[in-house]
Structure 1
Amino acid sequence: MASFELSAFDRRFQAISLVGAIEQQSPYTLNVGFWIRDPNQLIQWPEMVSAHPRADYLWEQTCLEVFIGVRDEDFYREINLSPSQAWQAYQFEEYRYPEDMPPQAAYDIELNQLKRTHYGLNVSLDLTEFMLKYKLKWEDLYLGLTAVLQTPEGAQYYAMQHSSPNADFHNKRDWLHQF
């Protein structure tokens, strides 16, 4: 299991700490855990829903995200995970393309489990169809973990690293996990 401390884009915002952990489970299951420390209880949590529906625009509220890139390829996937237990997977052919809003849903990634816990969020994703369709091995993938945390001070953007002048979760340079 690999873990990463995610940093706020606004370096002055230190009130919340966030750690993401990634675990590959053979042959095609990806487990991700997000541990949130919010001692002042600043995070504004969305209302819980049942049955794990797919929903768009989850990033407009508190939302944790997983980006999956493929070595030497332009296409990638974005998975949005709401603490409400709603989720969605999107497909992109290249950097933020196509520009549809909401983005095009990806149905080659499925949700095994999404659970809000007392420390954050746990998710298990089934990458079987995605990996088989493109003949991928774990070594072909790299991941980015990100979060939009809504607070009374506005949205705070967290990522493994921020190398762009603006918060940009689609910047593949910031997806640091490799298998």
Structure 2
Amino acid sequence: MQQMDLTPHPANPPAGDWQVRFSWQPTEHWLTLRWRVSGVGALAIPPLAGRGRADGLWEATCFELFVQHGEGPAYAEFNLSPSERWAGYDFTGYRAGMRQRKLPRAPVCSWRAGSAFSLFDAAIPLGGLPELPAAFGASAVIEETDGTKSYWALTHASDKPDFHDPACFTARLAAPLPP
């Protein structure tokens, strides 16, 4: 798996001392994702709600992926929650033309809390992604029990958190290797 560290937006720092590491691996049928959250503090984790599509997941602890194929402005957004809820959207341009993204299967989400760190694993069916290779941005909204929310990304391009900014799509997602 390839790995990168996410950084909190300076305008919205966490109350606790957190680190967030993101890793990914395309396989034959899935894009597997992992966010590793470690540090000191108390996370607010949404209660288990079972698999299903839901809007507004970014309002609580949530993990996100933005994928853009080619040079055009269109991109896809995936919101993945420890509650097992998920959302997928297509945009025709920067925050424009939003509509539900069709996926051949629902993403799989799994939260595992530990004493030293917690893991959020997700898998998105490759058939639900824009064509690969593609540029992407990984991000996370981390909510703490005191209500503090921090916004984590591979990079931050403006003075306020904005995961939709194409300047944040700094990583490359290669097409999977044949089996």
Shorter-chain TM range is 0.7 to 0.9
Residues in 1 aligned to 2:151 and 2:128: alpha-carbon distance in whole angstroms: 30
Residues in 2 aligned to 1:114 and 1:16: alpha-carbon distance in whole angstroms: 21
> Does 2:157 correspond to 1:163?
yes
Give 1:19 shift: 0.5
> Does 2:106 correspond to 1:104?
no
Structure 1 spans left out of the alignment, 5+ residues: none
The answer (yes or no) to whether the contact 1:58–1:80 under 8 Å persists in 2 is: yes
Following superposition, which runs of at least 4 residues in structure 1 exceed 6 angstroms of deviation? Answer: none
Give 1:112 shift: 4.2
Mapping for residues 1-150 of structure 1, pairs under 5 Å: 1-10=1-10, 13=14, 15-26=17-28, 28-41=29-42, 43-50=43-50, 52-98=51-97, 103-108=98-103, 110-118=105-113, 119-131=118-130, 136=131, 138-139=132-133, 141-150=134-143
Residues in 2 aligned to 1:148 and 1:8: alpha-carbon distance in whole angstroms: 9
Residues in 2 aligned to 1:174 and 1:112: alpha-carbon distance in whole angstroms: 23
TM-score, scaled relative to structure 1: 0.85
- CA RMSD in angstroms comes to 1.8
The answer (yes or no) to whether the contact 1:30–1:125 under 8 Å persists in 2 is: yes
Residues in 1 aligned to 2:8 and 2:152: alpha-carbon distance in whole angstroms: 4
TM-score, scaled relative to structure 2: 0.85
The answer (yes or no) to whether the contact 2:76–2:129 under 8 Å persists in 1 is: no
Residues in 2 aligned to 1:96 and 1:66: alpha-carbon distance in whole angstroms: 15
Cα 1:148–1:55 shift into 2, 3 Å:
same
The secondary structure found in structure 1 opposite 2:58 is: helix
Shifted more, 117-126 versus 106-115: the winner is 106-115
Residues in 1 aligned to 2:128 and 2:160: alpha-carbon distance in whole angstroms: 33
Give 1:127 shift: 2.6
Give 1:40 shift: 2.1
> Does 2:172 correspond to 1:172?
no
- Deviations, residues 15-36 of structure 1 (Å, cap 9, x unaligned): 111000011112x421110000
